[in-house]
Every structure is written in C-alpha cells, then in structure tokens.
Amino acid sequence: MNAPLTLTDILAWLREDDPARLKTLWARADETRRLNVGDTIHLRGLVEISSWCVRQCAYCGLRVDNQSLTRYRMEPGEILESARQAVAFGYGTVVLQAGEDFGLTCEWVADVVRQIKNETPLAVTLSLGERTEAELDAWRKAGADRYLLRFETSDQALFELIHPRRNPDAAGRIPLLRQLKQLGYEVGSGIMVGLPGQTYESVARDIDLFRELDLDMIGIGPFIPHPQTPLGTGELKPVIEPDEQVPNTELIVYKAVALTRLVRPDANIPSTTALATINKRNGRELGLQRGANVLMPNLTPAKYRKLYEIYPAKACIEETGSACNGCLRMRITAIGRQIAQGPGGRKRHAQERDVLC
C-alpha cells in the first residue's frame, strides 16, 4: 500500500499539467474507486423544490437581490409525485434541494419527508442551506437520511467575501457539518473550483479537509458565475497573483475529483451537473472515469426547471425527467458501468486507501 497523500502531494498534483503523469492519476483514482465502492453508479433523483433564497451569495442566481428571477415553491403533492417518479425509474434516493427558503418551515419539510418515507422505499437527502439545530433534528426524526451542505472553500476570508453571513452569530458551515453528523445524518459537502481569489493552496486544503471531516458524500464542480451577481458582472474582483489563481476549467475539476477519491476512498462522489454544463459531450463520463460514482438526474417538473437558475445554460435544462433518465442510462452503459440498486449509503467499513501516484 502506498503512502497517504500529504498536503504537499495534493498541491503538486493540482499544478500538474503533464498528460502522461495525469493519466496515472486518473488510473489510480479509478482503481481506488473500483476497489472501495465498486463498478456500479448510484442515481439520485434531484428535485429543486424552491427557488426562494434569503442569502446574498456573490455567485448564485438565486440570491435575494436578483429581481429578474421568477420565484417558485413546489407544493407537497408535486414533490411526492416527483418522488414516485424516482421509484418508477429505479432510483434509490431523492434529493430535495432549495435556496435558503424559510417559507419551507420546519413542520412543512418534516411532513414532506414523512410522506416520502411512508409511501416510498427511497432514502431522502435534504439540501436546504444553513438551518437551526432544532429544524435539522426534527427533519432527521421525520426520516431524512442525508444532508448536503457545501462549504465551498475553506479559505474563510474568501468565503465571507462571496457568501455574506445572514446571521453574524452563526457558527459557520464547518461546525454545522459536524453537528449534522452528531444528529445522525449521512453528511455531504463540497467545493467550487475556480472561484475568483481561490488559490491552489486553498483547494489543496479543501481536499485535505474532506479527509479530516470524514464526509460521506463530496461534490466538486467548476465555478460558473450567474450574470446577475457581483462575480458575474465583475463588480467583485478579489485580488490575487495570476499564477496563484485556480482556473475554473474541467481539467482542474477532474484533478480535484481524482484526489478526493484518493483521500476519501469510500465516499460517494458525484460527477456533477456543473461539470456536464462545461462539457456537455462527455463531462459526466470523464468524471465517472476519474473517481466519481454518483449521478444526479433531474426530476424537477419542467415548468420549474428553467426557473432554478443558479447559473446559466445548465445541462439538461430542456429535458423531462424521463428523457434525463434515459440519457444517463445510455451514458453509463457506454462506459461499461452498471446502475446500482437501493439507497446506496456510504460503505463506512471499506478499507481506506490513500494512494500516492
């Protein structure tokens, strides 16, 4: 067994540009994925249940100041119908995602979770932003299995710049991730790569933090700005040395995905929609061949899908849930992989392997 990747190793790989060297990284990540989570791909049905948000994030189209966005909030019956569609397509999990919308009250969310758990065999993942411990506890007791909350960057100064706090007394996302674990959730987090002001060293620390937090799910995607945001208009321009700025390219995302697989061998790692957006032809497939093992087909009803505009030109925005399901199945078959059955939680007792290429 090779030695664990150090922070210095991770940083060196993030800066590596030699195709032959990178080919060995892709192969090691893919083999580590195969040994720890197998050759099956988990499909998580994504339902974007509300586009309302109280936050002012400098990159996201859902930010409260974006007056050009038509807001919506799905009805419980619509959400349940999407969950039934997930069952019909053979998915093991439904992911309920929204902006930080306090119109989604504690009891409202708990009722929706209970209905899904009572009427389907699905695991329920929530991605509803920073909520109180009481709310998170109530949703866990209602049956929610997992919670996704990206910390986006471990560079605290950069995070505060692009993600102003709603509550100055809030503990922050890293403590909240630990709290979610204590409440019994499977916990997911992740980062954007290529944020203006983001250094190679900070991305290396992000990947090392994935290891420290022992995350069950880890999502990594490229920074894609929305034009109606301070980062999209250029109003906000973090100052950084050009050779330190991480690019928002698919190559750097593949590196981050591969390195994350090596430091967290048994985590569930999606090949994200954002990655597919910057490479619509085969971005998903390349992500799956470089360490990822999860895809998230979109089940949001067609009348809402275009309105959940966190960034423009999102992949598969015109597809129905059925079309998305069929497309992903063909892509999976084309790379010689199979679709997993069941909810697909993390294999916590898999042997850990940190691989130094």
Place of tokens 């203006």: 196
- What the block records as the tokens of 287 is 């992500």
Q: What band does 315 get if pLDDT is binned at 50, 70 and 90?
A: confident
Which homologous superfamily does the CATH classification assign to the domain defined by 7-339? Aldolase class I (3.20.20.70)
Q: What is the pLDDT of residues 177-216, one digit of tens each?
A: 999 999 999 999 999 999 999 999 999 999 999 999 999 9
- In angstroms, the CA 194 to CA 84 distance is 37
Specify the DSSP class assigned to residue 127.
E
Beta strand 186-193 with 217-222 is parallel
Q: Tell me, what amino acid is at 349?
A: H
Q: What is the pLDDT of residues 207-255, one digit of tens each?
A: 999 999 999 999 999 999 899 999 999 999 998 999 999 999 999 999 9
- What the block records as the tokens of 113 is 């979770």
Q: What is the pLDDT of residues 247-288, one digit of tens each?
A: 999 999 999 999 999 999 999 999 999 999 999 999 999 999
| 3-state SS class at 229 | coil
Tell me the sheet residues that pair with 217.
Answer: 188, 268
Q: Tell me, what amino acid is at 306?
A: K
- In angstroms, the CA 12 to CA 201 distance is 10
CB of 285 closer than 8 Å to CB of 26: no
- Averaged pLDDT for residues 158-174: 88
N-terminal to C-terminal alpha carbon distance within the chain: 11
pLDDT at 1: 41
Other Cβ atoms less than 10 A from the Cβ of 70: the count is 9
Q: How far is CA 197 from CA 65, 142, 254, 333, in A?
A: 23, 40, 20, 39
Single out the residue of 76, 188, 54, 72 nearest to residue 142, CA to CA: 76
Q: What is the pTM of this model?
A: 0.94
Q: What is the pLDDT of residues 42-73, one digit of tens each?
A: 999 999 999 999 999 999 999 999 999 999 99
Taking phi over 0 as left and psi of -120 to 50 as alpha, with beta for the rest, 343 belongs to alpha
H helix count then E strand count, the chain: 14, 8
SS in 3 state form for 329-347? HHHHHHCCCEECCCCCCCC
- What the block records as the tokens of 357 is 């290429």
Single out the residue of 263, 339, 201, 245 nearest to residue 5, CA to CA: 263
**pLDDT of 351 above 70:** no
Average pLDDT score, the chain: 93
- In angstroms, the CA 307 to CA 182 distance is 35
* Domain limits, the chain: 7-339
pLDDT at 171: 78
Q: What band does 321 get if pLDDT is binned at 50, 70 and 90?
A: confident
